[in-house]
Amino acid sequence: MKLALFASLALATTAPAQWSATERDALLQRMDTQAAHFGDLSKQIWEFAEVGYRETRSSALLRDELKNAGFAITERVADIPTAFTAQWGSGHPVIGILGEYDALPGLEQEAVPVKRPLRANNPGHGCGHNLFGAASAFAAIAVKEQLAAMKLPGTIRFYGCPAEEGGGGKIYMVRAGAFQDCDVVLHWHPDSANGASLKTNLGNLTGKFRFHGRPAHAAGSPEKGRSALDAVMLFAHGVDLLREHVPDSTRIHYIVTNGGEAPNVVPAFSEVFLYLRSPSMTTVDEVWPRILKCAQAGALATETEFKLEVVNSSYTILVNEALASLLDRNLRIVGGVKYDADETAFAEQLRLSMPDEGLPSLDRAWTIQPAEEGVGNGSTDVGDVSWVVPTGGLRTATFVPGASAHSWQSTACAGMSIGRKGMVVAAKTLAISAMDLFTDATQIEAARKSYEKRKGTKKYESRLPADQKPPLDYRSAGK
């Protein structure tokens, strides 16, 4: 009922179409003059490289930029220190643009085409979220300036979203009502190609599996010990065998975050951080109890105690045909990423570190791929947003074609001009798409219809406990 009310308000208050191709082209030209500044912001966030829920400097940098541009800031959304919203304008339509800025552990790398970490095991922007946050802020500010110049009603809102990489920041923002009055949400993601998204993805459920045993001298009195590490090894072996007996496209992967302190001490504590993913939330619900049985079996066999901390559960994305069509059309107007001679040399050298077989042509960086349906292999809390408000996304070539996300190669690209050129493509596409929504009520109506058709009678229900707080320390290993 509430969503229908907001949709009707949007249609009632949206300005009539008055956004011309000439005005669009002028906006894109103005963004060209501002691109270097936002590129510098992305480089600063790349250098900060702060992991989920610890993005103190990164979020502050974007927050201050938006505040200085005239946006009203709401801090600590959902009681998360690094989550915020920034909005300008009033009334409907309310168009949101998502921004992220968290880095990944262990992926620090210089902005060079050979493997050269600055300091081993430090975080790095191997998924390009430094570009994501900066480009989305760039787009929001450009839209604000255009709305002001045209004296149009409506609200542009930037969402500062922390901890997308496994921390589920947006889930808690959804629960806090941050999206309840939003008509449409737009987002983008760094990639090695350009295209609007019609793909859903893998929903997930993740947790830290902790085993508590009894310490003892591993040589002098091993019979007195009960090894938590033995429990972990049995648990992991059970999970490895389980992989053979789950539906296709199910993914189970884990790391051992604590295996003990010393070889001559029977480990009293060990921990595994595990992800379960599937394109079906029903499959997630079916497989998760079987994983729990593997953990219980490990504890039973070793006479240890097992405890679980559920960390995150991201929903599958509810795709939106109308918004994909809008973003596709505008991405083709903006065009892809063109390399200069130095960037071509960088790309060719970087590709020497990749497997020879199946490397795509470099021209994928400047061509636009068709929006095709299917299932992507990743997970994101954008999925949770897409079930409460019509949401559309795109990807742009911020990485050299052939580079994998979550790699040192993508970190290198995110810190140099190739990444920054891709983020400008994204910012421009988001900006003119938002302006189309502000000036043409039929676009919002079409997005709403696509949302309602896809959702149907399905109900969004997070797998996280209703009283769970944001896991602000999820990047810390248990003890």
Q: How far apart, in whole angstroms, are the C-alpha atoms of residue 263 and residue 100?
A: 41
Q: Which of 2-6, 181-185, 202-206, 242-246 has the lowest mean pLDDT?
A: 2-6
Look at residue 1 in the predicted model and tell me its pLDDT.
Answer: 36
Look at residue 18 in the predicted model and tell me its pLDDT.
Answer: 72
Amino acid of residue 408: W
Q: How far apart, in whole angstroms, are the C-alpha atoms of residue 406 and residue 127?
A: 5
Q: How far apart, in whole angstroms, are the C-alpha atoms of residue 108 and residue 405?
A: 13
Q: How far apart, in whole angstroms, are the C-alpha atoms of residue 109 and residue 121?
A: 10
Tens of pLDDT along 330-342?
999 999 999 999 9
DSSP code at position 103: B
Q: How far apart, in whole angstroms, are the C-alpha atoms of residue 408 and residue 151?
A: 45
Measured in degrees and rounded to the nearest 5, phi and psi for residue 433 equal -70, -40
Mean pLDDT of 402-409: 94
Neighbours of 121 (CB within 10 A): 9
Q: Please state, in angstroms and as integers, the Cα–Cα distance from residue 468 to each residue in 174, 209, 314, 321, following that order.
A: 13, 17, 14, 33
Q: Which domains does the chain have, with CATH numbers?
A: 2-200+316-455 (3.40.630.10), 203-312 (3.30.70.360)
Q: Give the long-range contacts of residues 348-352, CB within 8 A, separation 24 or more.
A: 349/113, 349/114, 350/113, 350/400, 350/403, 350/409, 350/412, 350/413, 351/400, 351/402, 351/403, 352/113
Bridge-based pairing of strands 305-312 and 203-212 is antiparallel
Tens of pLDDT along 96-131?
999 999 999 999 999 999 998 766 679 999 999 999
User: Is the pLDDT assigned to residue 346 strictly greater than 70?
Assistant: yes
Tens of pLDDT along 124-151?
999 999 999 999 999 999 999 999 999 9
Q: Which of 155-159, 332-336, 370-374 has the lowest mean pLDDT?
A: 370-374
Look at residue 85 in the predicted model and tell me its pLDDT.
Answer: 98
Residue with the two structure tokens 């069509």: 325
Q: Where residue 286 falls among pLDDT bands split at 50, 70, 90? A: very high
Q: Where residue 43 falls among pLDDT bands split at 50, 70, 90? A: very high
Look at residue 118 in the predicted model and tell me its pLDDT.
Answer: 66
Provide the percentage of residues in the chain whose pLDDT is more than 90: 92
H/E stretch holding 417 reads helix 417-439
Go through 39-60 and write b for each residue having 16 or more CB atoms within 10 A of its CB, e for each that does not: bebbbebbebbbbbbbbeebbe
User: Is the pLDDT assigned to residue 6 strictly greater than 70?
Assistant: no
Q: Please state, in angstroms and as integers, the Cα–Cα distance from residue 44 to each residue in 37, 50, 285, following that order.
A: 11, 11, 41
Tens of pLDDT along 16-42?
457 899 999 999 999 999 999 999 999
Q: How far apart, in whole angstroms, are the C-alpha atoms of residue 446 and residue 439?
A: 14
